[in-house]
Amino acid sequence: MQEASLKKLFVDRRVAETQEAVSIQARLDIPAAIVDDAREVYRFVSASDDPVRTGKTVLFLTRNQGAFIKRCPGTRRYNCCGYHILHIGTFCTMDCAYCILQAYFHPPILQYFINRRDMWMELQSLFQDKRIRRVGTGEFTDSLIWEQWTDLSARLVSTFARQASAVLELKTKTTAVSGLCELRHNRKTIVAWSLNTPYVIESQERGTASLDDRLTAAALCAFRGYPIAFHFDPMIIYEGCESDYCDVVVRMISAVSPENIVWISLGSFRFMPELKSIIQKRFPESKVVYGEFVPGRDGKMRYFKPLRLALYQRIVATIRELAPRVLIYFCMEDDEVWEKSLGFVPLQHGGLPHLLDERAVEICELRP
Amino acid sequence: MIYCNEELVSLSDIDCTDNTYRITTRTDSDDLCPSIEKIGIINPPYLKRKKSFSHKIISGFRRIEAVRRIGWPAIPARLLDAQTDRLLCAKLAIADNALQRPLNLIEMSRALHLLFNILQDPEKTAQTSTETGLPASPAFVEKIKGLCTVAQPVQSAVISSAISLPVALELREMPEEEGVRFAAIFESLHVSLNRQREILTLTKEIAAREGFSVLDILGCRQLESICHNSDLDRSQKAQQALSYLKTRRFPSITLAEQTFEAHKKALKLARGIHLVPPKNFEDTVYAFTLSFRNLQELKERTSSLAGVLTHPDLAKILGSSVA
């Protein structure tokens, strides 16, 4: 994470005296202010010309007012993986043109939740439940952008290592894995990377690690015994994209052996309609919103189905050729896409959550 | 209180090049000449004295032009003192027009622009404008005051109602040449607001995606050919222009729609039977709708539908599910 990009720290008065808040403040040499009300922070961000950009330079330490563990909102009318979000914070310091977080939060604020005790208690309840659970911290934020000033991931990895019914997935576009390397993870933490073509990374993903760097970090984690996952999401359609994505698959398999890969997900670019004008304004050079999109059954704009099917089929064929036993799944796609790309629909195997649970049991040695 | 003298002013002492207070967009005076010749000037223009005997016109631009055309050497006018402040002059100029007739959008913009330049505040501008016979809100002032600064062809298109206000405001944000080009197309096609917006959006998105300028897209051979085709009426031109832009913007979707329509046509569905594809071909559910007025029609149409089930084009439609 680029610490230099943070310009201001706001601290909720309720957490100002906590050890973690003090520790984070000490690590960040930036102006700090204690606030009594989150609205002060919202007003500060909203008042700027580019609230999204400002939201990435302001860190707000506060309490999570709701649950730490929640079901992923997923989407209606398409198959969802049924994983659980561990809500450690919101937003991101990197700046990808296509990022849905730009439109998801109003205003978008980089928040980190300090009431860690509540989080541990919820996790303990989850573990006591003994049902297979896949839990991730990378839904509303990047899992590893917090590494530079917190030890959260290390503590989570150690916590998950001591139980056998749940896996933790850390999903990232960074290479901030040095804090994970010496940990005893017991294969209960999956380290996952969002992948894209070099063209998309360079043109649309400001501040993220290069493809090579991500794969190097993935290889390092695989060497340390971590199960690895890759998410081709969002896949962007452009001239030559199919061969570019196939090339990424080849490089991915070269870096990480298939037996170390838990799963690979595929998902083409999809977005709430209100994101379009945000992208046009903040990234006027970006062409991502000028593809052939149609409203999906869930109201999100999606590539016209034949176009995304053609891309999926090509990538699946490449993955199958190089890593035939790796589980491939689609994020938020319907049965027709599954059938025509993978040759089956999730329900034939008990549903997508079941497929992923079974895979987690196998690779991460879970014991429900 | 307005302090002025009514005098006979020589036309050579009036500065007709200074349009500071011109509200009217009309440049002709054909309708005024006959009545002035017969009856004279009923409502003398307001002029503001200037030291150099070149009086500034505050109101009555067309009356002065009419008199010039008739060949009169002078015109009765109300001369305002040289110290008369700009705000009073502006109010006179606006009232002289707004109290007599409805103003078009450009005239409203000129009026509000004139007031805003003096008052520098949307609320005060709105209030003053309302007092002079042109009701306005601060939001309206903000929205419209800049409209009179757009390129003349765009203004003309607004006056002729070829362009709606929202589109005119959008054209104002563009480089002038692009705005002028769009104005010309909309003048030629005379399409509705929704269609104007569609043309704007499609053109801009095609340009953005393909790496061309908007002017490149508007000047492309295919569009030029449609717009200059004298065998087509306006409506046909508009339809073809939109169709071309949609196809270029969404080539795969357009092809899929055309393919579906071709297969559907080959089915030769009987009257009252319609085949409805999934919306945007995203879902996989197709629907036949069957309308009927009586049992006989129901039987006939059901029988006809049964015959369609074995048609090879139906298999092509369902077998492909587009992909």
ipTM: 0.91
Contacts of A207 (CB under 8 A, 6+ apart): A2, A5, A93, A94, A95
Q: Which secondary-structure segment (H or E) carries B118?
A: helix B105-119
pLDDT for A2 beyond 60: no
Of B250, B256, B279, nearest to A306 by CB-CB distance is B256
Question: A306–B322: do the CB atoms touch at under 8 Å?
Answer: yes
Nearest to A174, CA basis, from A215, A235, A222: A215
Kindly state whether residue A211 falls inside one of the protein's structural domains.
yes
In a domain, A79, yes or no: yes
A275: how many CB neighbours lie within 10 A of its CB?
Answer: 22
The amino acid occupying position A172 is T
DSSP A32: E
Tell me the sheet residues that pair with B56.
B15, B48
Helices (H) and strands (E) in chain B, counts: 16, 7
> Whats the size of chain B, residue-wise?
323
Task: Please judge whether A295 and B282 are an interchain contact, meaning their C-beta atoms are less than 8 angstroms apart.
Answer: yes
B200-241: pLDDT as tens digits: 999 999 999 999 999 999 999 999 999 999 999 999 999 999
In a domain, residue A131? The reply is yes
Q: Nearest 5°: phi and psi at B287?
A: -140, 135
Residue A6: inside a domain: no
DSSP state, residue A234: E
A31 within domain boundaries: no
- On whether residue A247 sits in a domain, the answer given is yes
Please count the structural domains in chain A.
1
Tens of pLDDT along B124-144?
999 999 999 999 999 999 999
Q: Which domain holds residue A307?
A: 69-87+120-364
Q: Please give the model's pTM, rounded to 2 decimal places.
A: 0.89
Nearest to B249 by CA among B317, B177, B200: B200
User: Are B84 and B55 a contacting pair, CB within 8 Å?
Assistant: no
User: In the predicted model, is pLDDT for residue A200 greater than 80?
Assistant: yes
What pLDDT score does B1 carry? 65
Q: Which residues of B touch A287 (CB under 8 A)?
A: 208-209
Q: Taking the CA atoms of chain B, what radius of gyration do you get in angstroms?
A: 30
Per-residue pLDDT at A211: 98
pLDDT digits (tens, 9 = 90+) for A260-298: 999 999 999 999 999 999 999 999 999 999 999 999 999
CA of A140, closest CA in chain B: separation in Å?
A: 27
Among A75, A290, A333, most B C-beta atoms within 10 A, so best to mutate, is A290
Place of tokens 């009073």: B88
Residue matched to tokens 């509200």:
B23
Distance from CA of B116 to the nearest CA of A (A): 25
Q: Does B209 contact A287 at a Cβ distance shorter than 8 Å? A: yes
Q: Is A62 helix (H, G, I), strand (E, B) or coil?
A: strand
- Round to whole Å and give the CA distance between A54 and A57: 5
Domain CATH for A169: 3.80.30.30
Is residue A73 one of the residues assigned to a domain? yes
> Does position A58 have pLDDT exceeding 70, yes or no?
yes
Q: Does the structure show a pLDDT above 60 at B164?
A: yes
Contacting A with CB below 8 Å, chain B residues are: 205, 208-209, 249-253, 256, 279-284, 321-323
**Chain A residues within 8 A of B252 when measuring between CB atoms:** 292, 304, 306-307
pLDDT, tens digit, for every residue of A172-195?
A: 999 999 999 999 999 999 999 999
Q: What is the DSSP letter of A332?
A: S
What span, in angstroms and rounded, lies between the C-alpha atoms of A336 and B286? Answer: 14
Best probe of the A interface among B206, B253, B282, by most A CBs < 10 A, is: B282
Query: Is it the case that residue A255 has pLDDT exceeding 50?
Result: yes
- For residue B167 the two structure tokens come to 């589109």
CA angle in degrees (0–180, nearest 5) for B109-B166-B124 = 35
Please, what's the b/e burial string for B260-294 (b: 16 or more CB within 10 A of its CB; e: otherwise)?
beebbeebebeebbebebeebbbbeeeeeeeeeee
Chain A residue numbers with beta carbons less than 8 Å from the beta carbon of B279 are: 295
Mutation target for B interface from A281, A304, A312, A314: give the one with most B CBs within 10 A. A304
In angstroms, the Cα distances linking B161 to B89, B186, B197 are 30, 10, 15
The answer to whether A59 and A6 have CB atoms below 8 angstroms apart is yes
Residue A308 lies in a domain: yes
pLDDT, position B320? 61
Quote the distance between the C-alpha of residue A136 and its chain's center.
8
